[in-house]
Every structure is written in C-alpha cells, then in structure tokens.
Structure 1
C-alpha cells in the first residue's frame, strides 16, 4: 500500500473524526504507519482529539419549544403556485407555440404577396416609335466592325 500523504490523513480526520477506531481498516493501517513516521501528523491528531474533548465538556444545548415548532413547520417541499385555468389562459397557451415561427411566416407571406402582385401589374413597354429606333440601333451595331487599339495596330 502506498504511503499516506498529509492530505489523505486530513481527509480521514474530516470524514471519520479523531477516533482512529472509526476509520476503515486499510486506511487505519496506513495512518498508523504515517503517524509512526511523521510528528506533524501526530500533532494534528492530538489537536483534533483535544478539540473533540473540549466540545464534549460543553453542556448540551436544548432548543426551546417555540424553535422546535418553527423548525417542524418548515415544509419539506414547497408547493408550486398554479393559477386556475381561465378562458384567456387556455386561448393564449396555444398562441405561445406559434410565436417562434411567426416572423418567418410573415416574411414568406409578404414576399409571396409582392411577387404575386408584380405579375398583375403590366410592365411599361416601348412605344412603336421607340421600338423602331431601338431596332435600327441594333442593326447598326451588328453591322459595324469594332477594333480596339491593339487590333488597329495589327491591321496596318
């Protein structure tokens, strides 16, 4: 078994008290070996035993009947306050489930409305005169040969 550290010994004192006979057998054997070697651990055990003896000499404290009654009247479990169901509460209970997606549904509906309404409104079209001018311009552009500065130098 490994040697007992000071931390392990202090844990034994905290958990089982200053009486080594109350300690678990394997821990008690390791503590006995550590006490035989370490004077500081013996001093800690003696201090703890002195404290226990001093507390044992004190008269027992008794609680007054009023204090006992107050302590006994503390409920072990606090009941939850639940409001009685009302019509408004029942109607609003279902509404709470819908609020999470309400913004998404509203945005989707608005986008659908705008796109649907856009198909009902006629788009402005070119008049007959504007149409002829546009066609002439397109034909002129199609017939023209375009050169950039590099092509012009290569053509010479």
Structure 2
C-alpha cells in the first residue's frame, strides 16, 4: 500500500518517469497516481518540468585542448623554494629539543627517596579508602 508521503518521496528522488522508480514500488506508485489524479497530477507535472530542465543541463561540455593549455598556463606558480619546508621541520625539531632539556632543568633537586616513596604509593589512595570505608 503506497502512502502519499512515500509517493512524493519517490517523485522527489527519482523524478516523474515511472521507469526510474524503484521496481518493487513502481506498481504501487502507479496505482496511487491513478487513484489520486488531482493530487498526483500536479506534482508529476512539476517533476516533469524539473526533469526537462535537468535533462537540458546534462549535455556534456566539450573542452578544447587549446583552451585547456591556456587555462593551465595561467595558474599561479608556487613561489616557495624547496628549502623552506625542511628548514621549518628542522626549526621545530630544534625548539622541541631545547624545550625538552629546559624542562629537565626546571624540575629542581632530585631526591631518590622521594621518588621511591612516590612510586611505591601512587594510586593506592582509593584502595585504602575502600578498605577503611567511609570513616577515612
């Protein structure tokens, strides 16, 4: 059974020519169009006009080889030299290395005991709270 909304969806998607409609819904859509000529007729006429306009636009455009060469010749030539990209990569690498060494200098004094303590007890706070319950 074809609904009015589905009939309009088919017309919008596939056009007014029933040969383009989905094969499994074509018979139902044609039956709907015959059963509702007032509603379907105006929509089919509008879709037919749109199909005609789109059909006129679908003519292939012939490109002349001379025109193509002239258009390509007018394209701008890149002005960047070949050394700019490797220089930018090297500069970024140099900045990264410098920041890496500088961040090590900003950490302060190294104390092995503090590091061992932090490594041993990091992440266990939640376990102790669970073990002690809500009183902790």
TM band (smaller chain): 0.3 to 0.5
Greater Rg, structure 1 or structure 2?
1
Q: Normalising by the residue count of structure 1, what TM-score does the alignment of the two structures yield?
A: 0.41
TM superposition score normalised by structure 2: 0.45
